[in-house]
Structure 1
Amino acid sequence: MSVRLPLIDTNVTSVTIVENFTLVNNKNNQKDNERRTALSGPAPKGDPGTAQVFGEWPAEHPLPLPEWGERSAPVLRIPDGRSFRRLEEDVEAALGKVLATNNYNTIGNYIALYKGFKASKCLNLFDYFQMYTPPITPAHHTCVGLALELWRNIAKNEPAMGEYFYLVSCEESIGAFEEYAGLQKEINETKNILEKEHVLLAMRFDLGGRDGIMLCDPGYHVGRAIIAMKDELAPHTGWFIQSKEPHLEKQFNYEYSKTNDDFVQWSERVTRNKAMVEEVHSLVYIRKPYLTAVDVTERRNLVYSFRSLLSRDRSGTLIAGIFFKVTEHNDEFLLFYQDEGKKRIKLNFSEFANLHHINEQIKPIIEKCNDQLNFAPGQLLSTLYVLYGIANDKRYVQQLLDINTCINDISED
């Protein structure tokens, strides 16, 4: 079942379906939208999907500009704690299912972009990047696809409840976060410097006259519904341990910004060897539904210099996967899997240049990781072979890194 965002401006001229959700083109940006919509084809009738829009894309800007709904998100009135706990349990059941049955995958969209670019015969990656519509499918689930999948699951179980959920955008790792929140009284005035690299699913509620918000973050493997109350009283979640390993612990906390309650401040505290080494702050804009999760956030993710493919259990604990940093000369990636505990091994893409000559000691490790990623037989090997090809296409990698640098430079300003 698809979920229709009830707050979107209906001043539209065409739509594009991408795996059960809709991209809606604004009349104000028709010329630019026609250029980018051409790759996607017409929308099937009778399936509006989840409303998303193409943002305006100024010349020389590395990303489209983010867009939000015109009105504030709706508020669900909840009469008592028992009703709230029942809702929370239902949402967490849907969240656990999404985590366990969908990999977090920023490698799938990385490969799809490369293959599309090569097939297009285009010489300039940025030109193609502007024309490209990022796919949202189970093979490409980043935070955007996972949030949309969770939304569909909730709406399938409780159709009326789906109308209260909406996507929210997040600006990560902000240094002067209080100053940032203070400047964002009207977010549209500063959207040309926003990166909006992360997306969550949210629902505003009123619990017996007390304001709160429920946040779900399958993109960061959070296996619980996060509750932020304005008064910070129960059922406020507060600080919790998100992940814990022998020498590394991560704690998260979500609270309304003291500077501007249109934002939730997300704090991450990292402890290594029992000594806190850093605390990072991000801001989630919660006032209005975020309408450019695909066009801005998913597109931004295409050129990140860090890629990962991860399977999780229902609690969000990582089971198996690979990750690597994209650089001009990097050939190395890290693979992990479960075998009487978590096992890690560093490998090189060059070891997979010829799939008929794979080191016999590596094969069983790849097969175990493949199975724990819920892949078809041989799928991980094929993926590593493609990644070897991309890593050795130096001109392509440099163009991708140049786009990433441009985006970083704008957001740092």
Structure 2
Amino acid sequence: MQPIIDRFISYVTIDTESDSKSATTPSTQKQWDLANLLVTELKTIGMQDVTISDKAYIMATLPSNVEHEVPTIGFISHFDTSPDFSGANVKPQIIRDYDGNDIVLNAAQNIVLSPNYFKDLLQYKGQTLITTDGTTLLGADDKAGITEIVTAMEYLINHPEIKHGEIKVGFTPDEEIGRGAHHFDVAQFGAEWAYTMDGSQVGELEYENFNAAGATITFKGKSVHPGYAKGKMINSLLIANDFINALPKKGIPQETKGYDGFFHVHHLAGTIEETVLELIIRDHSKLKFEKRKELISKITAKINKKYSKQFGEDIVIAVVEDQYYNMKEKVTPVKHIVDIAAKAMKEVNVKPIIKPIRGGTDGCQLSYMGLPCPNIFAGGHNFHGKYEYVPVESMQKAVEVIVKIAELTALPNYGLPVPKAKK
């Protein structure tokens, strides 16, 4: 396992935090540092046709080693890290033979990773964990995925006795700010289907995700001296508060799970004269997703009607933009690609956990671009914060799953049971 540890640490110690406020691709110059390293590493291990675009999209090919026709498949991960928490000066800590007790990440700041709060820790007792030092995120999302893909390709190159078809590898910038697939050239990639290695705990296999939209809502107001404001002042901050209170009280992230959708208010800033509210809208159901967007319009119209005479024009301006859609619609017609991944997991003693993603990945956008792309576990937990960790054994299992998928894809009917002929 040491080569996996060394490779992973070499990636996470390079700062690749993306920036949603930037208009460039990649959104931060520092993402090039890891991108260029990956290009060199892919060439070093023996991958063919290694390319990097002017926007830092990396592609490489492992040629087929069989003579019969096999579908070209791909594996994809992103190398940026979330701007939600610092990714600079990451100092990973290695916890060998984890004993199931609290892990002190940072004694000086009293930051503790505890199984009393993060109960998933207990399923990794006796394993090797890589954690943060409590001051940054770790970057397992998704440098664990990159580690696994590169390691699996290296293994296949060094073990030609494992038969497989042509395999494509793709690494992208800016996934964490929703742009990872924006400049991905599906035609150049040339795969019939692919898998993103971007899930969480060992065993996760996902082909459903949220339909997603973002809303920016601007509230206008009128500022008047508060001592003489009766009938004159309109406080945009209070109108924004009324708008938030009109949203479903239980339809927020901390009150939902599974297939539940939500509204998530993530930014609010303003003055009496103007307040800007930013929120995201999520739902697995396309019908409920559309109704959520309609609710934004209805609340907006109701408030505008209330203030129409006093303000003289629309006091609330709502802009709602779709971000991505549920990949289930695109993956279900080719469900065998999920079945192959599930069989691969079972054959390496991993129990598949098939469940909806409460978020999105590059794969959901790529699926609508013509590249069906389910999501497979990368092994990490508690992404985007100081409590992030990854079990090394989970990364090793992900490597084994990739190798097994490659092997199964080269078998007749992908190693899956042949459907019985209808009488």
TM-score by length of 2: 0.25
Q: Which has the higher contact order (CA 8 A, sep 6+)?
A: 2
Relative to total residues, which structure has the larger strand share, 1 or 2?
A: 1
Larger Rg: 2
TM-score by length of 1: 0.26
